[in-house]
Structure 1
Amino acid sequence: MVRRAVLVLAALALLAGGVTPVVHADEQPPVPQQDPFYAPPNPLPAGAPGDVIRSRKVDWHPEPFRVLPAPVRAYQVLHLSTSATGARNAVSATVLVPPTAWTGAGPRPLIAYAMGTQGLGDECAPSYHLRSGTEVEIAFLAQALLKGWAVAVTDYEGLGTPGTHTYAVGQSEGRALLDTARAATRLPEAQLDPNAPIGAFGYSQGGQAAAWAGELQATYAPELNLVGIAEGGVPSDMNEVAAFNNGGIGAGLVVAAAVGYSTAYPELPFAAFLNQRGKDVTTKVREACVAEIALLAPFTRLNDLTTTPDLINHPAWQARLAQNKLGTVKPAAPVYLYHGTLDELIPYSGAKKLRDRYCGVGADLQWTPIPLAGHIVAVSVWGTNALNWLGDRFAGKSTRPSC
């Protein structure tokens, strides 16, 4: 994947027309907690979801060339959005625009890009990783830019901005992604058309966010021209994902999701029912990025962390988890769904159930199982195909439904 990124970034340099990047080897951006850009005004300004509160031009330093900014126009934005419970909030994001003019038919397309799990600490925010050259999920960003498409990458609620990240809460993620797309089209410097065709793209947590954007768009952001949703490794039913990982190698992610849900929905019984180990683990999870989370509580069960067993079965938890279960609403655009048959984190059986629910609500769905692929292998070998599928939607080609 790194080799592919090197080749694509080299091609981007050629597209830039021989622009020589300026080296800033001695400059490291401040972490979000120390960067006033991420702190929204209090109270929030008047405006609609997706309206830009503030923006700034930045350098994007992709791996493996951390000292060299990529030859693209990069902007950080802080924009208005909406929480899972309907409260107004602010979300940070990054907008990337190729340096060359769009020569295709119609306006320049836009990818609404949702990153896979980054973590819960503010330093895990994609916008910070992109600036500091530590974001590992760059190959698909580079491929999209090479095609001449713009890309808008959401940080999600509470990642970078103050507060705890509402990790794995689809209602929050989908709104943040749609509002990041809105903000990109409303940012004058990006020079994007409000009617630009938009493709949602994401894997794992990002696949969940893209899927929710597809289900929410018709009622939440009907003005957006969403033409396709490419989603892979999707955690579509958090009850199923929690049961699959509880006590396994992905137990730390289950704890992270519990923190995310109890943040999004404060009425959920959680913090008051943690034992001392539970308090210690959740405190660390709130400040950790994904690699550290994976090491914090492997093979731990939620019951090991609480004074009351099976909190997830509480009616309040079940009600909120049901509200965040995918596949009950027909997506507003065609869907490309793919999943590894040997996924060790998000059960393949759940992906097949999501496929069936999509078909049941009349979705225009193309389903692709990836034989013998685990969680990371599936996106590594098939993510480019999902991105190219969005290219077909931008080109107005017919879909090939699997239902």
Structure 2
Amino acid sequence: MRKLALTAALLGSALAASPALAQAGRLIAADPMVETPAGTQAWKIRYLTTDDRGRAREVTGVVVAPREAVPARPRPVLAWTHGTWGTAEKCGPSLSPNFFAKTPAIEAVSRGYVVVAPDYIGLGNPGPHPYLVGTATARSVLDAVRAAQAIPAAAAGRRFAVWGESQGGHAALWTGQLAGVEGAGLELVGVAAGAPPTDLAANFRKASDPNAKAFLTALATDSWSSYYGVPLQIGARRTPGIIRRMAANCVVVDSGPKLGTLLGILALRQDLKRTDLGTLPPWSSFVRANSTSPVSRVPVLFAQTQGDPLVAPAVTRAFARRMCANRVRVGWIDLPGKDHATTAKQSAAATLAWIDDRFAGRPAPNQCGRF
């Protein structure tokens, strides 16, 4: 804990001197969207953030609010952190005609929330995209919440919760982790994470679906190679080319992989069957740096299907128990089945009820010792 506090203090001191930080959270543009769900209004936004090295980056996203008169008090904000759509610039959720249908948090608008949905750095905006890079992603979330406050008709307030799934579950946990250090002007009330990667070394090792594991490895190593500036040297001679081709495509949610992608995955399974990113330099350093911390100042809710083939439930459960050991109030939603991509959809009703209670100031239920 002492080491964590010292790191946070040094980080805060360094950032205070960064010129880019002074601009972080500034709204550049908010373009109204024409076709939105009934009762909502929405804007495609561009705003400024900083990456994990303090460099200014322009990011895109969507802000959705009730289509009502501006209330007397600011509206509560729900930051939605999306799961994996891909790592290429063209894969930003805000670019997709399916954005509203594939964003479970939109349901919160009918409850009076403003939903802020950042694309993250490098999706919908020039890359590279820092896939599963905690600090850069969390900053893009915090700054999206700040940027939304500059849209008068949205009436977004400073109090917010964050909810994410898969890659977005990792982003949600990291947002909670950074909010205490870099959340000036904001008040985080709770973090909800569906099937989140946490201990990345364990996540890479224990994914039960070898196809999903190979695809995750391809996205991570391609992203980290570009973002951290290291050669993509892994597997066999053909492996980097296969990885780059796969990473150039977006994930098609609720659809099976194309034949070319499937053949690439099968080849990667063969090439990477003895590869452990948790022990193989330089990838192991990125794995360690971007695993989540079991410390939180606010309550945390986890949702997980019992047989998730990509994010092993045992890994999530072990992480949640570490949070319990650190006296975090932890909630747990156990879902049936073996699916990964519908975790947020399946748990939406319970998650939104939990978020409602956090804004209402009700004591968070603590299920530590019961999962």
For normalisation by structure 2, the TM-score amounts to 0.83
In 2 relative to 1, CA 401–45 (structure 1 residues): closer, same or farther, beyond 3 Å? closer
Residue 188 of structure 2 corresponds to residue 237 of structure 1:
no
- What does 1:4-153 align with in structure 2 at a 5 Å threshold? 47-61=22-36, 70-101=38-69, 106-129=73-96, 132-133=97-98, 136-141=101-106, 143-153=107-117
SS in 2 for 1:100: coil
- 8 Å contact 2:65–2:113 — kept in the other structure? yes
Q: State the match for 1:257 in structure 2.
A: 220
SS at match of 1:253: helix
Q: Deviations over 1:65-106 (max 9, x none)?
A: xxxxx55221122111121333221211111111124669x5
Structure 1 residues 33-86: Cα deviation after superposition (integer angstroms, max 9, x where no partner): xxxxxxxxxxx9884211112332222456xxxxxxx55221122111121333
Residue aligned with 1:186, SS: coil
Give the equivalent residue in structure 1 for 2:238. Answer: 277
For 1:251-271, what per-residue CA distance to the aligned partner results, in whole angstroms no more than 9, with x for missing partners? Answer: 11221011222233224xx42
Cα drift, residue 298 of structure 1: 2.8
Partner of 2:284: 318
User: How many angstroms does 1:217 deviate by?
Assistant: 0.5
Letter in 2 for 1:110: V
Post-superposition offset of 1:363: 1.5
User: How far is the alpha carbon of 1:219 from its aligned partner?
Assistant: 0.5
Cα distance, 1:274 vs structure 2: 6.6
Distance 2:128 2:323 in 1: 31
Distance 1:77 1:349, change over 3 A: same
Q: 1:277-356 counterparts in 2 under 5 A?
A: 277-291=238-252, 292=257, 295=262, 297-301=264-268, 304=271, 313-328=279-294, 330-356=295-321
The offset of 1:234, in angstroms, is 0.5
Q: Which runs of 5+ in 1 are unaligned?
A: 1-43, 63-69
- C-alpha distance in structure 1 between counterparts of 2:228 and 2:236, whole Å: 20
Shift of 1:207: 0.9
In the superposition, relative to structure 1, how do residues 343 and 190 fare at CA in structure 2: closer, same or farther (>3 Å)?
same
CA distance in 2, matches of 1:310, 1:223: 41
CA distance in 2, matches of 1:90, 1:389: 32
The question of whether the paired residues in 1 share the 8 Å contact of 2:79 and 2:161 is answered with yes
Say which SS state the counterpart of residue 57 (structure 2) adopts: strand
Which whole-Å CA distance do the structure 2 matches of 1:230 and 1:309 have between them? Answer: 32
**Residue 15 (structure 2) aligns with:** none
CA change 1:117–1:48 in 2 (3 A) is same
2:355 corresponds to: 390
Asked if the contact 1:303–1:309 (Cα under 8 Å) also holds between the matched residues in 2, the reply is: no
- Do the aligned partners of 1:157 and 1:176 also contact (CA within 8 Å) in 2? yes
Deviation of 1:238 after TM superposition, in Å, equals: 1.7
Relative to structure 1, the CA distance from residue 310 to residue 373 in structure 2 (aligned partners, 3 Å threshold; closer, same or farther) is closer
Q: For 1:134 and 1:102, how far apart are their aligned partners in 2?
A: 25
Establish whether residue 203 from structure 1 lines up as the match of residue 169 from structure 2. no
How far the C-alpha of 1:235 sits from its partner, in A, is: 0.8
Paired residue secondary structure (1:318): helix
Q: What is the aligned partner in structure 1 of residue 185 from structure 2?
A: 223
Cα 1:320–1:399 change in 2 (3 A) is same
2:322 is the alignment partner of 1:357: yes
| Number of residue pairs the alignment of both structures matches | 343
Pair 76,258 (structure 1): closer, same or farther in 2 beyond 3 Å: same
Kept in 2: contact 1:112–1:151 (CA 8 A): yes
- DSSP 3-state at the match of 1:313: coil
User: CA 1:134–1:103 in 2, change beyond 3 Å: closer, same or farther?
Assistant: closer
How many Å separate the matches in 2 of 1:320 and 1:173? 14
- Alignment match of 1:183 (pick from 137, 140, 147): 147
CA contact (8 A) 1:115 1:137 kept: no
**1-side partners of 2:113 and 2:235: how far apart?**
46
Where structure 2 has 5 or more consecutive residues not aligned to the other structure, the ranges are 1-18
Percent same amino acid among aligned pairs?
28
Which amino acid is the alignment partner of residue 48 of structure 1?
Answer: Q
Distance 1:189 1:61 in 2: 15
CA displacement at 1:229 relative to structure 2: 0.9
Deviations, residues 278-319 of structure 1 (Å, cap 9, x unaligned): 23322223321113586363345477169x965652343222
Q: Which residue of structure 2 lines up, in the alignment, with residue 28 of structure 1?
A: none
Question: What is the CA–CA distance in structure 2 between the aligned matches of 1:149 and 1:128, rounded to whole Å?
Answer: 22
Cα shift at 1:174: 1.6
